[in-house]
Each structure stands twice: as C-alpha cells, then as structure tokens.
C-alpha cells in the first residue's frame, strides 16, 4: 500500500470518528427540551413535538400520539395519562371557544339592532322617557276585542316580570354550567364529558328563551304598527333586545381556563420528545362590550317603566350615553 493510499484511509477513519461523535452528541445525550420556554415561545422546539390546548387540531394530534405511545415497547402510563388529560382540556377549550364566539356574535347582533333603533328614536325626537301604552284600537268592535285579547296575552309575561326573569335565569344557568365545566378539567374525563353536555344544553335553553322573548316583542310591535303605534312598537323591540343583551353579559364567565401546564415527555424512544402546553385564558366578554352594560340596563329599565313593565331603580337613562357605549362596544377589532 502506497503512502497516498494510507493517507486516504487515515483521513476516512478520522471522518468516521468525527461523525460517530456527532451522532452520539445528537442522540441520547442531547439536552432535554425546556417545556416552559417552548410553551412561552422563547425557545425553539428543535424537532420536539409540541401540543397546545388552543390549537383546534391539538386534540386530534394528541389522539394520534396516544396511539403511538400505547404501541411502544416501554408503554409509559404517565405519558398516556397526560395525553388523556390534554385531550380533555383541548376538547373543553374548543367548547368554551364555541360558546364565547356564539355569545359575542349574538350580543353584537343585538347591539347593532339596538343602535339602529336608538338612532331612529333620536331622529324622531321621541320624548324619552314618557308613558307608552298600546295604542287605541281602530276598527270593528269584534276585531278590537280579538286584538285586545291577543295583546293582553302577549303583555302578561312582560308585565309580571316572568319574561325578563326567565332570560336572566337561563343566562345565569349557562354561566354556572361553564364554571362547573372549568372546574371539571381537574377531574376524570367522564366528568368533563358530562359538564360539556350540561353547558351545551344550558346554552340551547338560553337561546330558546331569548328567541321566545324576541318573538313576543316582534308580535306586539306588529300589532302596534297596525294601529299607528310606531313608538310603542319601537320601544318594545328596543326593550327586548336590551333585555337579552344585558342578560348575556350580566353573569361573569370563567377566567384562567384551563390551568397553566408546561410539561415534557419522551413518548416512544429517545428522540420522540413531546411538550404539552396549556395556557390559561379568559372567556369574559370584551372590556368595551362590558363597559356598555350599565347604559344598557339604564335604558332598558327606563323604557320598561315607559311601557309599564317592572324595572330597576329609577335612574335617569340617556340614549346619548348608550349610543356612545354602543359605538365603543361595536368598534371593529384590529
């Protein structure tokens, strides 16, 4: 063997030794991931699998990883349990998010209608507040009696307070159900599933009660419009919208859901590392919308007194203050 050939062999051996050293350094001896830093996005994942509870696809990813971990030779009970907890948390956060998005959509829809009606009343120089009663009926006596009976039936739940009480009760029940759902996250999966079912039912009941109140208000308004009672009709529509919007916002929803978690695991081998991130968030309405609540209640009660409905303390309501609050609440998000 010549000197050049020997040099080539020596060089190849050195390269192999360096490569082996690099592989060892990148293998089982590599630094463990810092879950807190990765979850806070202050450190790169560097190939580590990261699950985040606010990721819409997080639950599906976790289920796939659970299947992988359950087939590994070293089935780690702790990892499987943590993945189960993460799946329950991610599913619950998705449910919370759906509730919040629907609530905000409906509240904004109500407030847009309220703003339009407030502008109509302002432009019409409505002497607010004033006493409003269902307008004098016109037409044949038989027709008058028929409409009178219908109006009396529609006004009863408004006049005795049961309509407003019903929507407030449903809103409070939904808030309580969501608080129970937040609490159940620390318990077994079965408890979470039952709490999700309860919260969905509570939300459906609130929507049904609100829809029934809107239907009552719209029917009364239609009868009033037929009898040249435009202001009564406007006031009734405004009152029902304000009543529901206030009910949706009056009961606080949970904050700090889920509990903050940042953990790292090896799922099925030395290089298959997993970091779980659960960041707490609030599900309260936006501050601008919450800031409109006092004005909403004042005008709701002022109009309620004008219509002869039960109302809160006699404070002077202001359509201008409500309009300003609505402009802030409905300002487009950046």
Closest CA to 305 of 313, 296, 117: 313
As a whole number of angstroms, the distance between CA 107 and CA 113 comes to 10
Answer yes or no: is pLDDT of 243 > 70: yes
Three-class DSSP category at 264: strand
Burial 60-92 (b: 16+ CB within 10 A, else e): ebbeebbebbeeeeeebeebbebbebbbbbbbb
- What is the arithmetic mean of pLDDT over 67-73? 77
Residue 180 near residue 195 (C-beta atoms within 8 A): yes
pLDDT given at position 216: 94
Residue that wins the pLDDT comparison between 146 and 66 = 66
pLDDT in tens, 265-311: 887 665 678 999 998 888 888 888 889 999 899 888 888 888 888 88
C-beta atoms surrounding 162 within 10 Å: 13
pLDDT given at position 166: 96
Task: Tell me the two tokens of residue 34.
Answer: 């810092």
Task: Tell me the two tokens of residue 19.
Answer: 């490569």
Residue 243 near residue 208 (C-beta atoms within 8 A): no
- What is the arithmetic mean of pLDDT over 1-24? 36
- What is the arithmetic mean of pLDDT over 185-196? 75
CA 98, 103, 107 angle in degrees (round to 5)?
Answer: 155
pLDDT given at position 165: 95
pLDDT given at position 204: 95
pLDDT given at position 60: 92
pLDDT in tens, 147-172: 778 888 999 999 999 999 999 999 99
Mapping DSSP onto H, E and C, the string for 45-108 reads CCCCEEEECCCCCHHHHHHHHHHHHHHCCCCCHHHHHHHHHHHHHHHHHHHHHHHHHHHHHHHH
**Token match 């998000």: residue?**
333
Instruction: Choose the weakest-confidence range: 67-76, 96-105, 121-130, 209-218.
Output: 121-130
- What is the arithmetic mean of pLDDT over 103-122? 88
- The pLDDT-based confidence of 134 (bands split at 50, 70, 90) is confident
Question: Can you give the residue ranges of every domain in the chain?
Answer: 77-329
Residue 173 near residue 202 (C-beta atoms within 8 A): yes
């Amino acid at each position: 063997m010549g000197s050049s050939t020997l040099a080539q062999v020596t060089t190849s051996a050195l390269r192999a030794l360096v490569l082996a050293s690099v592989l060892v350094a990148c293998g089982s001896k590599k630094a463990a991931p810092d879950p807190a830093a990765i979850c806070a996005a202050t450190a790169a994942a560097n190939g580590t699998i990261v699950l985040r509870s606010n990721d819409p696809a997080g639950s599906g990813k976790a289920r796939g990883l659970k299947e992988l971990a359950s087939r590994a030779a070293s089935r780690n009970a702790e990892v499987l349990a943590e993945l189960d907890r993460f799946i329950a948390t991610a599913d619950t956060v998705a449910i919370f998010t759906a509730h919040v998005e629907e609530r905000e959509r409906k509240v904004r829809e109500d407030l847009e209608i309220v703003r339009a009606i407030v502008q109509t009343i302002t432009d019409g120089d409505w002497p607010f507040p004033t006493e409003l009663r269902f307008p004098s009926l016109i037409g044949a006596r038989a027709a008058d009696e028929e409409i009178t009976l219908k109006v009396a039936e529609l006004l009863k739940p408004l006049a005795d307070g049961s309509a407003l009480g019903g929507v407030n009760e449903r809103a409070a029940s939904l808030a309580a159900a969501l608080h129970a759902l937040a609490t159940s996250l620390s318990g077994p999966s079965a408890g979470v599933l039952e709490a999700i079912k309860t919260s969905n039912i509570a939300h459906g009941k609130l929507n049904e009660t609100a829809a029934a109140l809107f239907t009552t208000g719209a029917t009364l308004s239609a009868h009033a419009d037929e009898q040249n009672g435009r202001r009564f009709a406007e006031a009734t529509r405004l009152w029902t919208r304000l009543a529901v919007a206030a009910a949706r916002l009056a009961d606080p929803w949970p904050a700090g859901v889920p509990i903050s978690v940042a953990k790292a695991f090896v799922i099925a081998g030395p290089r298959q590392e997993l970091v779980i991130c659960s960041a707490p968030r609030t599900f309260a309405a936006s501050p601008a919308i919450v800031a409109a609540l006092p004005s909403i209640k004042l005008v709701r009660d002022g109009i309620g007194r004008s219509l002869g409905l039960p109302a809160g303390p006699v404070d002077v309501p202001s359509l201008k203050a409500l309009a300003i609050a609505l402009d802030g609440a409905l300002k487009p998000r950046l």
